[in-house]
Amino acid sequence: MNLKDYFQKAIEEGFALGAINFSNMESLQGIVEASMKARSPMIISVSESALKYMGSYCYALTKSAKQIYPHLFLHLDHGKSFEVCKEAVDNGFDSVMIDGSALKYEDNISITKKVCDYAHKKGVFVEGELGQIKGIEDNTSASEHIYTDPALAKDFVMKTKVDSLAIAIGTSHGAYKYSGKQTLRFDILEEIERALPNFPLVLHGASTVEQSEVQLFNQYGGKLEKANGIPRELIEKAVTKHNIVKINTDTDIRIALTSQVRKVLNENKSEFDPRKYLGAGREEIKKVVLDKIYNLFHSNDKI
Ligand code: G3H
Ligand code: 13P
Ligand code: ZN
């Protein structure tokens, strides 16, 4: 099954694929091992900056990962230019996101269409974005988000031919998602679904920022004050009752890895073997991803 087949299956059966960001071997291993154990398809996401960080090791790592477990889809996260998306397409990515959400509507259409025209010829799927998902530095309340305009969603999809659409309904990137009421605009989601029946929708900024992980992080000298994420029940509702088929998660993986690194290094002041602390981080990522697969994405046993 290709990614589009999985998206349709996800809509029909009420589950979602995780799209989990990685930027080193241990995070990739943790994600892949959890997916394999749960027999879940998985989107492994690479941001522009993660791609720059890993360089061409990224392609070698993901090629090996797919040999070990073929039910993985390599995805470019938040591509900001045609050139970056083209590079990903040319290097064998299964799908790319062109993020023109900060552009004027007509410019977003134009760049997204250009990427679709190129990628589709090579059998690569494209995700676009409409509306704006707040960034980590903004740390603003949900009421200040630029929500996706349901009236434009259909027009955008028709004109660009995107295969999936990232929407803004109150999620945000990073570890500080809400300063006020923790909620999502399901009313907007429903309007989008009415305009685009059975169309694959994507939720970015969907980390749940578990308090147990934050506590662990802080216990060993970290300082994540008032960190919070999307409540689990809202993610589950979006996945099981709506056409959200891709759940983007990065922050939770970063916290899981780093909290274990902090723990191991704090408990063993003389430790200098990276395998000890990165190995512990890898195990924590596996645990976190397994929880998400079984309890939030419901993508276990779908391969
Ligand atoms: O959505 C953004 C991701 O969390 C990637 O962030 O550019 O720091 O890798 P990054
Ligand atoms: P989080 O910061 O909530 O993990 O979101 C990640 C994301 O949307 C990557 O595209
Ligand atoms: Zn994102």
pLDDT tens readout for residues 78-87? 999 999 999 9
Contact 130, 108 (CB under 8 A): yes
Would you say residue 257 lies in a domain? Answer: yes
Would you say residue 267 lies in a domain? Answer: yes
Is the predicted pLDDT of residue 141 greater than 70, yes or no? no
What residue owns the CA closest to ligand 2's atom 9?
Answer: 248
pTM above 0.85, yes or no: yes
Cα–Cα nearest to 75, from 28, 133, 109, 107: 28
- Ligand nearest the Cα of residue 229 is 2
**What share of the chain in percent tops pLDDT 70?**
97
Would you say residue 303 lies in a domain? Answer: no
Would you say residue 95 lies in a domain? Answer: yes
Would you say residue 87 lies in a domain? Answer: yes
Q: Name residues contacting ligand 2 (CB within 6 A).
A: 21, 77-78, 173-174, 204-207, 248-252
H-only helix segments in 161-207: 186-195
Number of structural domains (the chain) is 1
What residue owns the CA closest to ligand 1's atom 8?
Answer: 49
pLDDT band at 142 (very low <50, low <70, confident <90, very high): very low
What is the span of the domain harbouring residue 285? Answer: 3-297
End-to-end CA distance of the chain: 9
pLDDT tens readout for residues 87-104? 999 999 999 999 999 999
Is the predicted pLDDT of residue 106 greater than 80, yes or no? yes
Would you say residue 268 lies in a domain? Answer: yes
We report the CATH number of the domain holding residue 93 as 3.20.20.70
How does DSSP classify residue 135? P
pLDDT tens readout for residues 208-218? 999 999 999 99
What is the reported pLDDT for 144?
Answer: 61
Would you say residue 302 lies in a domain? Answer: no
Would you say residue 18 lies in a domain? Answer: yes
Is the predicted pLDDT of residue 258 greater than 50, yes or no? yes
Q: Is 266 exposed, middle or buried (0-12, 13-18, 19+ CB in 10 A)?
A: middle
Is the predicted pLDDT of residue 140 greater than 60, yes or no? no
Q: Name residues contacting ligand 1 (CB within 6 A).
A: 21, 47, 49-50, 77-78, 173, 250
Cα(208) to ligand 2 centroid in Å equals 10
Cα(270) to ligand 1 centroid in Å equals 32
Residue positions annotated with a catalytic role: 77
Long-range interactions of 222-229: CB distance < 8 A, separation 24+:
222/258, 222/259, 222/262, 224/175, 224/255, 226/176, 227/175, 227/176, 227/255, 228/175, 228/176, 228/177, 228/178, 228/182, 229/175, 229/177
